[in-house]
Structure 1
Amino acid sequence: MDPTPFVEVISQLRTEFKNRFGDFRAYKEEFRLFVAPFDIDVSEVPTWFQMEAIELQCSEELKAKFSSCSLFNFYKNVIVPSGQFPSLIDNALQVVSMFGSTYRCEQLFSKMKFSKSQLRSQLTDNHLNDILFLSSSVLKPDLDSLCSDRRHIVSNVPIKSKE
């Protein structure tokens, strides 16, 4: 079997991977500050973060909370409400926001896959666009006001009286 086609495909994948994720190397320090704020060497972090890093690493209470909960919950429930570490909070928000758009895209593709299942194979592209738009929209219709503006049709079926 000739490995040439596989070598070419793998080479293309490496190039594509490098192009898509090459920017992440530029944010290596920010990722490290976000993921392991207690394990960093204070002398190696940017000067804007050194004082906060010293205060953070000196707090045994925060170390215990960091090791007892998930990374996301540590920032959400401990660091952000305290307001004590604004540079750490800014860094965390920047890092977390980098992946928010990826999550939304994955969520939309999952909805599309569900909508285009074998049970709904009759969907046209226009119908799929409408379904995806509705399922990904954060707008909620005010059904009460929409219904109150309409005149209701009364049935012509006579009502039986109780005699």
Structure 2
Amino acid sequence: MLESRNIDVKSIISVTTDGAPAMVGRERGLVARLKEDNPDMISYYCKIHQSVLCASLGYEYGELMETIMKLVNFPRSTLLEERKDETDTKYVQYIEKLINNFKVRFDDFVLGKQFLLFIQNPFLVTDITEFSVEANLTWKWVDAAKIQLELIDFQENVALKQVFCDCTPETFWSKEGSPANFPTLHRLAAQILTMFGSTYCCKSAFSIMNLVKNKFRSCMTNEQLHHCLRLAITPIVTKFRN
């Protein structure tokens, strides 16, 4: 599929998965096979699937989680005074076990505070050394010394600062980020802003495909299905004149 669309595996920045074995299997999973040709590719768990998993604890823990939420909403002082019994210990142990389980299951990658601040407003980054360390933890190709110098020069550019104040971060990095003068910073920002947080687009396309190609359209060809899907999922709103 990638070859038919002339997509180079090494140009793939990240992959969002639903956690299925076919996607994240250690030997034959899609992510493992892609990383054979692109070791620097980042893979992470779909945020929507994480939320659904958190919500689907089942009836066994439903009452327990409901009670925990009520306790959390109490003032801390009241909680310490009135909830010192064995039941609290049970809740604490369960929460700790749940946190550890989720850390293992969703151990994807973590973006540091300075790096996230860089995406939102690069002129507010104060700890440049920490920023370079955080960037190198996720992207091994980042040269710490080079990116530090680029960020210092970037923050000293008054013209770029004014441009940034007049647009959104997405617009700035896609159109006004001066990639020629700051190639490393621009590459980092572009990679972060083009990462999909969930598999929503893919899942919604499958749902629409099932609606388009139903049992009453058994003679529909793949080419016809392709055109119908493009019309169904396009964000472009057509304007017809009366």
SS at match of 2:107: helix
- Which residue of 124, 144, 153 maps to 1:55? 153
Q: Is the counterpart of residue 23 in structure 1 residue 121 in structure 2?
A: no
CA contact 1:43–1:50 (8 Å) conserved in 2: yes
**Structure number, greater radius of gyration:** 1
The one-letter code matched in structure 2 to 1:86 is P
Within the candidate set 114, 120, 123, 2:208 is matched to 114
Q: How far does residue 13 in structure 1 lie from its aligned partner after superposition?
A: 7.5
Which has the bigger relative contact order, CA under 8 A and spacing at least 6? 2
Of the three residues 84, 103, 116, the one matched with 2:181 is: 84
Q: Deviations over 1:87-137 (max 9, x none)?
A: 1012123323432xx56x4223223333445x976369x999x58x7237x
Of residues 52, 61, 64 in structure 2, which corresponds to 1:5? Answer: 61
Matched, 1:68 2:153: no
| Distance change (3 Å), C-alpha of 1:54 and 1:127 | farther
Question: Aligned ranges for residues 93-132 of structure 1 at < 5 Å?
Answer: 93-99=190-196, 102=197, 105-117=199-211, 122=215
TM-score normalised to structure 1 length? 0.54
Contact 1:116 1:123 in 2 (8 A): no
Pair 45,114 (structure 1): closer, same or farther in 2 beyond 3 Å: closer
RMSD of aligned alpha carbons: 4.1
Amino acid at match of 2:181: Q
> What TM-score do you get using the length of structure 2 for normalisation?
0.40
Identity value in percent: 22
| Residue type at the aligned position of 1:45 | F
C-alpha separation in 2, matches of 1:32 and 1:85 = 17
Name the amino acid aligned to 2:124.
D
Q: Does the Cα contact within 8 Å between 2:170 and 2:193 map onto a contact in 1?
A: no
Between Structure 1 and Structure 2, the one with more helix by share is 1
Task: Indicate if the aligned counterparts of 2:177 and 2:186 stay in contact, CA closer than 8 A.
Answer: yes
Instruction: Give 1:35's aligned amino acid.
Output: Q
Q: Do the aligned partners of 2:121 and 2:169 also contact (CA within 8 Å) in 1?
A: no
Letter in 1 for 2:123: F
- Cα 1:72–1:4 change in 2 (3 A) is same
- 1:110 aligned partner, one-letter code: S
For the 8 Å contact 1:30–1:95, the answer to whether it is kept is no
